[in-house]
């Protein structure tokens, strides 16, 4: 089973790398981001002290990513937790979540968003150059016209998250 998961993740990343940033096998970028966000979950461990019944993925600034995540993964199980996908329209709405995807359109509010989640074990995923260095855990980035991702190890550790070596080996480490 673990080999199958590894193969699935590697295949998804290889397809993205091979087919470029805007389309992988005819898929729009919001679907690729949604698939990658879901696959990241498989290789990240949240603190065992998390006793919530739901695994919450939240999105701010991108209705297409929100709709795709909700359609594909909303209500499914992750172990004994149910996936719940939330949409936030502004930083003031942000509440507890395991993952927060901050789209380019909301990146102007990144400092406020980061401040709201600074004492939590939330993985912040962004999609704008420079936000990896500024404090997101994972940042999508285009390298040679291909989608890649940065992994900010310091931020991940501060959030009390553990990342598998497999995921780290595919990332641009910062």
What pLDDT does residue 12 have?
Answer: 52
- In this structure, what CATH number is given to the domain that contains residue 42? 3.40.50
What are the E-state strand segments in the chain? 44-45, 54-60, 77-78, 81-88, 99-102, 123-126, 138-143, 146-151, 162-163, 172-173
pLDDT digits 0-9 by tens, 100-116: 999 998 999 999 999 99
User: How far is 33 from 80, CA to CA, in rounded Å?
Assistant: 25
| 77: containing domain | 2-173
Domain count within the chain: 1
What pLDDT does residue 25 have?
Answer: 54
| pTM assigned to the model | 0.85
Is 170 a residue whose pLDDT tops 70?
yes
Is 23 a residue whose pLDDT tops 60?
no
């Amino acid at each position: 089973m673990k080999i199958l998961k590894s193969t699935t993740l590697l295949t998804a990343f290889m397809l993205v790398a091979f087919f470029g940033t805007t389309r992988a096998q005819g898929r729009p970028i919001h679907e690729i981001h949604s698939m990658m966000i879901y696959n990241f979950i498989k290789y990240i461990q949240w603190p065992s002290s998390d006793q919530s019944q739901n695994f919450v993925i939240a999105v701010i600034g991108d209705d297409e990513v929100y709709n795709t995540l909700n359609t594909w993964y909303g209500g499914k199980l992750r172990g004994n937790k149910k996936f719940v996908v939330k949409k936030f329209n502004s930083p003031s709405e942000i509440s507890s979540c395991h993952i927060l995807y901050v789209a380019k359109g909301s990146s102007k509010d990144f400092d406020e968003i980061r401040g709201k989640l600074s004492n939590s074990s939330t993985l912040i995923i962004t999609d704008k150059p420079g936000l990896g260095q500024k404090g997101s855990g994972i940042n999508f980035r285009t390298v040679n016209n291909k989608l890649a991702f940065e992994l900010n190890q310091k931020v991940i550790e501060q959030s009390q998250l553990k990342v598998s070596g497999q995921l780290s080996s595919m990332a641009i480490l910062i």
